[in-house]
Amino acid sequence: MNQWIVAPVLLPAMTAGVLLLAGPRLPRWLQRSIGIFASIALLAVAVHLVCDANAGAVQVYALGDWRPPVGIALVLDRLSALMLLLTAGLGLCALIAASGGIDTESPYFHSLLQFQLMGLNGAFLTGDLFNLFVFFEVLLIASYCLLLAGNTSRRLHAGMHYVVVNLVGSSLFLIAAGLLYALTGTLNLADLAVKLPKLAAAEQVLAHSAALMLLVVFSLKAALFPLFLWMPPAYSAASAPVAALFAIMTKVGIYSILRVYLVVFEPAAGPLGLHLSNWLVPAGLTTMMCGAVGALASRRLSGLTAQLTLLSAGTILAVAGLATQQALSAALFYLAHSTLAMAMLFLLCGLIATGSGEASDRLRQMGSRQSVVLSLLFGFTAIIAVGIPPLSGFLAKLMLLQASEQASQWPAIWSVMLASSLLALLALMRAGITLFWSVRNSSVAVPLTGQGPQLAAPILLALAITALSAGAEPIKHFMNATAVQMTDVAAYTQAVLSTPGRP
Amino acid sequence: MELLLAIGIGVLTTAGVFLLLRERTFSVLLGLTLLSYAVNLFVFATGGLRVGAPPLLSGHVAPPYADPLAQALVLTAIVISFAMTAFMVVLAIAARHRLGDDRVDPPGEQVE
Amino acid sequence: MCVAAMGVVFVHRARFAALILLAVVGLTVTLVFAYYSAPDLALTQIAVEAVTILLLLLALYYLPQDAPPERAVNRALRDFFLGCLAGGGVGWLTWAMLTRPLDSISSYFIAYSLQQGGGANVVNVLLVDFRGYDTYGEITVIVVAALGVAAMLAGVKLPQRATDDSGRPWSLETSHLPLDLLVRLLLPLALLVSAYLFLRGHNAPGGGFVAGLVTAVAVALLYVGAGLAWTRERLKLSFRAVAAAGLLIAGLTGLAAMAGFDRPFLTSAHGHLTWPVIGEIPLASAMMFDLGVYLTVVGATLLVLTRLGDPVVVPAQGV
């Protein structure tokens, strides 16, 4: 039994506990060091787990040594390992960027960040529906606290909406989970997959309601149309490192949809098959258009980035909704790419905002020239975000287009994808020109001194994206294998339900 | 008996959702609390309703017992809702203090 | 209960009255739990109810006591319709669910709770053993919520109000003699009750949560009755540290299984201790976990209550 599987949850949890025990009076450099050290360790663990998962088998960890479905199981397959790696990487970059000064906004910032990582990792690893709910709550409450750090009016207002919307979502989650328990008597995802098809016809209706409710909850988290209105204000109000970390929060919703639907409500399972493509593809496409148009209409760079995040979430789901292996693989590659790209863009917002003083990141003519480094980074990010060759953005978009070729909805998908890319390009170009070119007084430069950590983080992300582009071939193989594994439900259920343990 | 409980849960949900959609934060708080009561009762009901059979194996009570798993789930849900309610209450107070009034959508807020 | 719920809706603008009706609803829920064989739930619900009402009362202190009537009738109708839709849906689901037989994995829990889990209170064994990982996540939520509260209040200077909305002056005294005496007498008693609830939790209704809430409420009452200054002088405890300690204890208990016995996280063990005079005492390692839960609940709840009840004295300008 692989004890490392529980490490991504325990490591941040214990780190947060220690940091909390020591309290906010601990010298800041020590807090930062502990946090960064723990995050590096987490990244190492995630890499190790990815290599483990790449060996092929689905690994199960029976908590409390109770065999599933009696106890709660953690499941490590390629998909969860991939999400863990993304989370760990993003967490480290956000932490580095925050160490530049944002972490003074909240006395408990470093503990909160670790708790957030704990919640995310717990959600990605669990194989139990109610446990998913619990860890959703952990990551949600941590995100509320991180969002509200600093107590500005803008954040309080955005936070209010964010909290209320998510509380309603949580209630819905509970109802759906309760319903599924009442129908099948179990909460374990693999066990649900086995027991649901055996229900009588009248009960199938109830199961359908539960499935739809879960779709609503996860779509809310993933910011899918029509449940996405909470997202842009919340993400653009957050401080830059926090927003960068939030780039993975929509992915939790996407992950949950994929995991729960592919395993439990799998299309092949007879009358229960809820043909994802009927719902996800149109919703995803609409989200894409809303995001693209919103990006054009934004007056702040952070707002623009939030809309682009919306766009990427919609893209992932629109293509993943086709549920073929090629589509899933392409969607996953794009997921990895866009998460890194959006995080980088958010971090750049922070850098630009610091440099412009009161104007913050509003898309207005700048008083003085931004540094060359910053403009280069922005250009780089814009290229990858839109998908211009030769970097990973282009590769990802190409894969997506290819994957949707066979589908019946391909005209819609292709046109929306290309149109939204064009709009995104326009929006980013306009932002770039406003912020970097049309400067009133080009002889005065905004200095970049004292922003070492905040600059280091986007550079790290840039390196990661370059690695993603350069190593696209092996990574694509990994994604293909992940897609195959995701659709092999029998292997999943078999692995989980045959785990040894008490009683 | 089941019908009564179902109606009760339904009414609680109705009241909760209605209050949730009101303008003032305090009403939203009341609504959320009612909604969480409703949902907790719902999850409790998933275990089936049984009178006089608490799942205590001390010998005083004979099987069949009430469903312990449903009860455990509700306990977790109660505690989590409590934490969220406390958080939301303080958020409402802080927002009122900062933004000057206690409406959920202060007038004049632009979408950026 | 229905009457109370609808009542809350109709008087929601008269906030104090609405709170009382809310408390009534909560009490009814407790009764439902008790009637349908869920003693642990009833205990927890009533404790949580007490603290929730307390919090909402504190909120009322800082928010306006009454709300002006909302002008948009259309909006109210639409919301009412939505509410009915939701209520009808949930009600229908409940009824559909209750009229079906259930065959669940609970039978395992009931069968193995005593021999494998070491406890007769199956619900408690579920919480700290079978599904202890859920509880671990849950106490994390409590702590993070408390941290959020503390962080939000640190940045906000709440004014102390001279009068409430109807002009009645708030008392500025910090300590009231009768309440003071009462609370000082009650505190040791409450702690005893709390310890009792905690220790018997594994085999009878009780457990870490309820014990923690009882302790928290008792200490909070101490603040109320004896005054903030008096209590602060004597209780130099950092609630944040208590909560953090709770989290760490819970985590370490789980880790012990991993480190010492090469078992998964949160594997429990149980046995019997024989003490000379008292005889055999059944003991489970899950009790350490429950201790972590207890400390977390105490620390977090008190962190929230004490921060909220401590307004900075800023003369109110007709707020």
The pLDDT tens digits for A269-322 are: 544 445 666 778 888 888 999 989 888 888 888 888 899 999 999 999 888 888
Residues of C in Cβ contact (< 8 Å) with B21:
75, 79, 82-83
Residue the block writes with tokens 């139990």: A128
Greater confidence (A489 vs C201) lies with: A489
Residue the block writes with tokens 């003074």: A104
A359: which 2 tokens? 């104007």
B14 touches chain A (CB under 8 A): no
AA letter at C172 = L
Are C162 and C169 in contact by the 8 Å Cβ rule? The answer is yes
Q: What's the CA gap between C18 and C282, in Å, rounded?
A: 47
Greater confidence (A38 vs C316) lies with: A38
Are C8 and B15 in contact by the 8 Å Cβ rule? The answer is yes
AA letter at A465 = I
pLDDT of residue A145: 92
pLDDT of residue C165: 53
The bridge status of strand C159-160 relative to strand C312-315 is: parallel
pLDDT tens-digit readout, A64-82: 888 888 888 899 999 999 9
pLDDT of residue A111: 92
pLDDT of residue A118: 95
Backbone angles phi, psi at C268, to 5 degrees: -110, 165
Q: Do C268 and A111 touch (CB under 8 A)?
A: no
Query: Quick one: which of C67, C16, A165 has its CA closest to B24?
Result: C67
Is the predicted pLDDT of residue A268 greater than 50, yes or no?
Answer: no
Chains near A with 3+ CB pairs less than 8 A apart are B, C
* A222: confidence class by pLDDT, cuts 50, 70, 90: confident
Q: Using alpha carbons, list the distances in angstroms from residue A88 to A12, A313, A483, C245.
A: 10, 20, 22, 25
Q: What's the CA gap between A82 and A477, in Å, rounded?
A: 13
Is the predicted pLDDT of residue A200 greater than 80, yes or no?
Answer: no
Mean pLDDT of C45-61: 84
C12 touches chain A (CB under 8 A): no
**What DSSP assignment string belongs to A275-297?**
-HHHHHHHHHHHHHHHHHHHHHH
To the nearest whole percent, how much of chain A has pLDDT over 90? 24
pLDDT tens-digit readout, B13-42: 888 888 888 777 788 888 888 899 989 988
Give, as one character, the DSSP assignment of residue B13. Answer: H
pLDDT of residue A410: 80
Q: What's the CA gap between A44 and A39, in Å, rounded?
A: 9
AA letter at A174 = L
pLDDT of residue B24: 78
Considering its fold, how many domains does chain C have in total? 1
Mean pLDDT of C245-257: 84
Q: What's the CA gap between A387 and A398, in Å, rounded?
A: 9
Greater confidence (C114 vs A415) lies with: A415
Q: What's the CA gap between C122 and C128, in Å, rounded?
A: 10
Is the predicted pLDDT of residue A13 greater than 80, yes or no?
Answer: yes
Is the predicted pLDDT of residue C166 greater than 70, yes or no?
Answer: no
Are A457 and A96 in contact by the 8 Å Cβ rule? The answer is yes
Q: Using alpha carbons, list the distances in angstroms from residue A426 to A285, A364, A383.
A: 19, 16, 12
pLDDT of residue A466: 85
Q: Using alpha carbons, list the distances in angstroms from residue A361 to A114, A154, A306, A343.
A: 28, 14, 13, 16
Greater confidence (A202 vs A11) lies with: A11
pLDDT tens-digit readout, C115-134: 666 677 788 888 888 888 99
**What DSSP assignment string belongs to C147-212?**
HHHHHHHHT--PEEPSB-TTSPBPP--S--HHHHHHHHHHHHHHHHHHHHHHHHTTTSS--HHHHH
Is the predicted pLDDT of residue A143 greater than 90, yes or no?
Answer: yes
* B112: confidence class by pLDDT, cuts 50, 70, 90: very low
Domain ranges of chain A: 3-495
| pTM across the whole model | 0.91
* A365: confidence class by pLDDT, cuts 50, 70, 90: low
Are C308 and C55 in contact by the 8 Å Cβ rule? The answer is yes
3-class SS of residue A187: coil
pLDDT of residue A121: 95
The distance between the two most distant Cα atoms of chain B, rounded to a whole number of Å, is 65
Specify the DSSP element, H or E, that contains A99. Answer: none
Q: How many C-alpha atoms does A140 have within 13 Å on its Cβ side? A: 30
A112 touches chain C (CB under 8 A): yes
Mean pLDDT of A98-103: 80
Residue count of chain C: 319
The C-alpha torsion from A457 through A461 and A464 to A470, rounded to 10°, is -130
Is the predicted pLDDT of residue C312 greater than 60, yes or no?
Answer: no
B21 touches chain A (CB under 8 A): no
Q: Do B49 and C36 touch (CB under 8 A)?
A: yes
Query: Quick one: which of C38, C251, C244, C39 has its CA closest to C135?
Result: C251
In a domain, C11, yes or no: no
End-to-end CA distance of chain A: 17
In a domain, C94, yes or no: no
Tell me the residue ranges of DSSP E strands in chain C.
159-160, 270-275, 279-284, 312-315
Expressed as residue numbers, the domain containing C302 is: 121-319
Tell me which of A10-19, A126-135, A198-207 is least confident.
Answer: A198-207
Are A74 and A5 in contact by the 8 Å Cβ rule? The answer is yes
Which residues 184-213 in chain C show a CB within 8 A of chain A?
A: none
The structural domains of chain B, ordered by start, are 2-50+66-99 (1.10.287)
Give chain C's mean pLDDT: 74
Are C202 and B55 in contact by the 8 Å Cβ rule? The answer is no
Query: Quick one: which of B111, B106, B107 has its CA closest to A303?
Result: B111
Which stretches of chain A sit within 8 Å of chain B by CB? 130, 134, 137, 141, 144, 148, 151, 153, 156-157, 159-161, 163-164, 167-168, 170-171, 174-175, 177-179, 181-182, 187, 232-233, 236, 298-300, 303
Q: What's the CA gap between A308 and A291, in Å, rounded?
A: 6
pLDDT of residue C282: 57
Residue A434, phi-psi category: left (phi > 0), alpha (psi -120 to 50), beta (remainder): alpha
Q: Do A163 and B91 touch (CB under 8 A)?
A: yes
Are C236 and C242 in contact by the 8 Å Cβ rule? The answer is no
Q: Do A174 and B43 touch (CB under 8 A)?
A: yes
Count Cβ neighbours within 10 Å for each residue of A189-209 and write b for 16 or more, e otherwise.
bbbbbbbbbebeeebbebbeb
Task: Give the count of beta carbons closer than 10 Å to the beta carbon of residue A258.
Answer: 24
B17 touches chain C (CB under 8 A): yes
Q: Do C156 and B98 touch (CB under 8 A)?
A: yes
* C316: confidence class by pLDDT, cuts 50, 70, 90: very low
Is the predicted pLDDT of residue C250 greater than 50, yes or no?
Answer: yes
The bridge status of strand A73-76 relative to strand A59-62 is: antiparallel
Give chain A's mean pLDDT: 85
B95 touches chain A (CB under 8 A): yes
End-to-end CA distance of chain C: 35
Which residues 352-391 in chain A show a CB within 8 A of chain C?
A: none
pLDDT tens-digit readout, A441-482: 666 666 666 667 778 888 888 888 888 888 888 888 888 888
The answer for residues whose C-beta is within 8 angstroms of residue B61's C-beta and 6 or more apart is: B52, B53, B54, B55
Facing B34 at nearest CB: one of C5, C44, C131: C5
Is the predicted pLDDT of residue C217 greater than 50, yes or no?
Answer: yes
Residues facing residue A188 across a β-bridge: A128
Is the predicted pLDDT of residue C280 greater than 50, yes or no?
Answer: yes
3-class SS of residue C233: helix
A418: which 2 tokens? 């290309």
pLDDT of residue A195: 83
A262: which 2 tokens? 């592919």
Give chain B's mean pLDDT: 78
C180 Cα to chain A: minimum distance (Å): 32
Q: Using alpha carbons, list the distances in angstroms from residue A3 to A6, A61, A119.
A: 6, 8, 19
Residues of A in Cβ contact (< 8 Å) with C138:
134, 137
Facing A151 at nearest CB: one of B43, B87, B94: B94
* B110: confidence class by pLDDT, cuts 50, 70, 90: very low
Q: What's the CA gap between C142 and A115, in Å, rounded?
A: 12
Residue of chain C whose Cα is closest to the Cα of B31: C9
Task: Give the count of beta carbons closer than 10 Å to the beta carbon of residue A389.
Answer: 11
Query: Quick one: which of A169, A180, A183 has its CA closest to A215?
Result: A169
Q: Which range in A411-425, B87-101, C208-222 is most confidently predicted, on average pLDDT? A: A411-425
3-class SS of residue C121: strand
Please list the alpha-helical segments (H only) found in chain B. 2-20, 25-45, 68-99
Residue the block writes with tokens 């209750």: C98
Is the predicted pLDDT of residue B5 greater than 70, yes or no?
Answer: yes
Residue count of chain B: 112
In a domain, C210, yes or no: yes
pLDDT of residue C228: 65
Tell me which of A138-142, A169-173, A348-352, A414-418 is least confident.
Answer: A348-352
A119 touches chain C (CB under 8 A): yes
C170 Cα to chain B: minimum distance (Å): 18
Residues of A in Cβ contact (< 8 Å) with B25:
160
How deeply is C20 buried, as exposed, middle or buried, from its count of CB atoms within 10 A (0-12, 13-18, 19+)?
middle
Which residues 79-98 in chain A show a CB within 8 A of chain C?
A: none
pLDDT of residue B79: 92
Q: What's the CA gap between A242 and C178, in Å, rounded?
A: 49
What is chain A's Cα-based Rg?
Answer: 22
Residues of A in Cβ contact (< 8 Å) with C154:
107
* C32: confidence class by pLDDT, cuts 50, 70, 90: confident
pLDDT of residue C317: 39
Backbone angles phi, psi at A188, to 5 degrees: -75, 135
The answer for residues whose C-beta is within 8 angstroms of residue C298's C-beta and 6 or more apart is: C212, C215, C216, C219, C239, C242, C243, C246
Residue of chain B whose Cα is closest to the Cα of A129: B73
